[in-house]
Homo-oligomer: A and B are copies of this chain.
Amino acid sequence: MVAVNLMSSPGSGKTTLLERTVRDLGGQLPIGVLEGDQETRLDAERINATGVPAVQINTGAGCHLDADMVDAGLRALAPEPGALVFVENVGNLVCPALFDLGERARVVIMSVTEGADKPLKYPHMFRTADLMLVNKVDLLPYVDFDVARCVSYARRARSDVPVIEISATRGDGLENWYSWLHELRAAPSR
């Protein structure tokens, strides 16, 4: 199993990206999803609607997933050997950065509707990220967001972090995201 911990602010597009990703890759490899939120089963229902198994984890007042929650979620999900499992963390650029969920890789999503200075203000999240996705590039014409500046700020936290620009709604860059996932899955575990 290869687990990917997906983290971002609320509303950066994690669930929309996952809906599209599991639709596009679900025929090629076994996939499962753990969905973290304070309350509701909305996100697991969105993933289940694609035909891919998803388990919702509710944290109540909690601000992040922890390894025990993921362990319990994986028992319920029971992914096939070799499966790609996405763990969508609680929407929060702060607390999830500090918790190791046993994931193979940590992915942080920035949306271009947020400020480019976020990697400076929330450095813990960007310091541990194995990939930064810059989402909602379809909105770039309408907002004041400098992608190059945001990337340079993220690389102050982690100098070699790869960056992929995407639009989860329009489809831009998704082939690069899928290639990254295939390479991650093919790579020997660390």
Contact = CB atoms under 8 A, between A and B. Distances in A.
A24 interface: no
B61 A124 contact: yes
Given A11-B111, A39-B122, A63-B95, 10 more contacts: A39-B123, A40-B120, A43-B121, A91-B93, A92-B92, A92-B94, A94-B95, A95-B95, A111-B113, A138-B142
A158 interface: no
Contacts of A128: none
24 contacts: A9-B11, A10-B114, A11-B114, A11-B118, A37-B121, A38-B122, A38-B124, A39-B120, A39-B121, A39-B122, A43-B121, A62-B94, A63-B94, A63-B95, A90-B94, A91-B118, A91-B121, A95-B95, A113-B136, A113-B139, A139-B139, A139-B142, A139-B143, A142-B142
A78 interface: no
Contacts of A49: none
Contacts of A9: 9-11, 91
A62 B139 CA distance: 31
A169 B42 CA distance: 32
A38 B121 contact: yes
Interface in A5-52: 9-11, 15, 37-40, 42-43
